[in-house]
Amino acid sequence: MPRATPILTGTLLLCVATLADAAGTDSIVQAWPTRPSVRDAALEARVEAALKGLSLRQKIGQMTQPEIRAITPDEVRDYAIGTVLNGGGGWPGQDRNATPARWRALSEQFQAAARQATPGVPLLWGTDAVHGHNNVRGATLFPHHIALGATRDADLVRDIGRATASAVRASGLHWTFAPTLAVVQDVRWGRTYESFGADPALVRRLGQAEVEGLQDGLAQGRGVLATAKHFIADGGTRRGIDQGVSHATATELAQVHGAGYLGALDAGVQTVMASFSSWTDSAGYVEHGKMHGNAALLTGVLKDRLAFDGLVVSDWDGIAQLPGCTVDDCPAAINAGIDIVMVPFHWKPFIANTVKAVEQGRIPMARIDDAVRRILRVKFGVGMQPAVPATVEAMQAPELARRAVRESLVLLKNRPGLLPLRPTARVLVVGAAADSLPHQSGGWSLTWQGRDTTNADFPQGTTLLAALRQRLGGPQVAFDADGSRSDPARFDAVVAVLAESPYAEGEGDIRITDNLRHSRRQPQDLALLQRVAGRGAPVVTLLYSGRPLYVNDLANHSDAFIAAWLPGSEGAGLVDALVAPADGRPWPGFTGRLPFPWPAGPCQFSSHEAKPWWPVGGGLSGKETQAGGKLLPEPADPQPICPL
Task: Please tell me the distance from the alpha carbon of residue 537 to that of residue 555, in angstroms, as a whole number.
Answer: 15
Minimum distance, C-beta of residue 369 to ligand GLC, in the bound complex (Å): 26
Burial track 577-609 (b if 16+ CB lie within 10 A, e otherwise): bbbbeeeeeeeeebbbbbbbbbbbbbbbbbbeb
Longest dimension (CA), the chain: 100
The residues that bridge with 65 in the sheet, in sequence order, are: 342
322/472 with CB nearer ligand GLC: 322
Label residue 46 exposed, middle or buried (CB < 10 Å: 0-12, 13-18, 19+): middle
106/493 with CB nearer ligand GLC: 106
Cα–Cα distances in angstroms (integers) from residue 493 to residues 518, 526, 544, 642, in the given order: 23, 18, 19, 37
571, 591 Cβ separation under 8 angstroms: no
DSSP string, 383-433: --S-SS-SSSGGG--HHHHHHHHHHH-EEEE--TT--SBPTT--EEEESGG
Task: Please tell me the distance from the alpha carbon of residue 425 to that of residue 609, in angstroms, as a whole number.
Answer: 39
378, 350 Cβ separation under 8 angstroms: no
147/274 with CB nearer ligand GLC: 274
51/319 with CB nearer ligand GLC: 319
180/604 with CB nearer ligand GLC: 180
88, 447 Cβ separation under 8 angstroms: yes
242/457 with CB nearer ligand GLC: 242
613, 556 Cβ separation under 8 angstroms: no
Task: Please tell me the distance from the alpha carbon of residue 382 to that of residue 558, in angstroms, as a whole number.
Answer: 51
181, 261 Cβ separation under 8 angstroms: yes
Minimum distance, C-beta of residue 417 to ligand GLC, in the bound complex (Å): 44
187, 516 Cβ separation under 8 angstroms: yes
Active site residues: 315, 505
Minimum distance, C-beta of residue 462 to ligand GLC, in the bound complex (Å): 27
Minimum distance, C-beta of residue 230 to ligand GLC, in the bound complex (Å): 6
Minimum distance, C-beta of residue 316 to ligand GLC, in the bound complex (Å): 4
Alpha helices by DSSP H, 235-330: 250-252, 259-266, 295
Angle between helices 200-214 and 154-170 (to 10 degrees): 40
32/125 with CB nearer ligand GLC: 125
67/624 with CB nearer ligand GLC: 67
- CA nearest to 33, candidates 183, 274, 251, 221: 251
278-281 and 245-248: which strand pairing? parallel
64-65 and 539-544: which strand pairing? unpaired
DSSP 213: H
Other CB atoms within a 10 A radius of the CB of residue 557 amount to: 21
Q: Please give the residue ranges that form the binding site for ligand GLC (CB under 6 A).
A: 87-88, 128, 177, 229, 315-316
Task: Please tell me the distance from the alpha carbon of residue 466 to that of residue 471, in angstroms, as a whole number.
Answer: 9
Minimum distance, C-beta of residue 97 to ligand GLC, in the bound complex (Å): 20
Task: Please tell me the distance from the alpha carbon of residue 179 to that of residue 148, in angstroms, as a whole number.
Answer: 12
Minimum distance, C-beta of residue 177 to ligand GLC, in the bound complex (Å): 3
Minimum distance, C-beta of residue 495 to ligand GLC, in the bound complex (Å): 34
Minimum distance, C-beta of residue 273 to ligand GLC, in the bound complex (Å): 6
177/261 with CB nearer ligand GLC: 177
Minimum distance, C-beta of residue 127 to ligand GLC, in the bound complex (Å): 8
504/616 with CB nearer ligand GLC: 504
Alpha helices by DSSP H, 487-622: 518-521, 523-532, 552-555, 572-578
Angle between helices 259-266 and 200-214 (to 10 degrees): 30
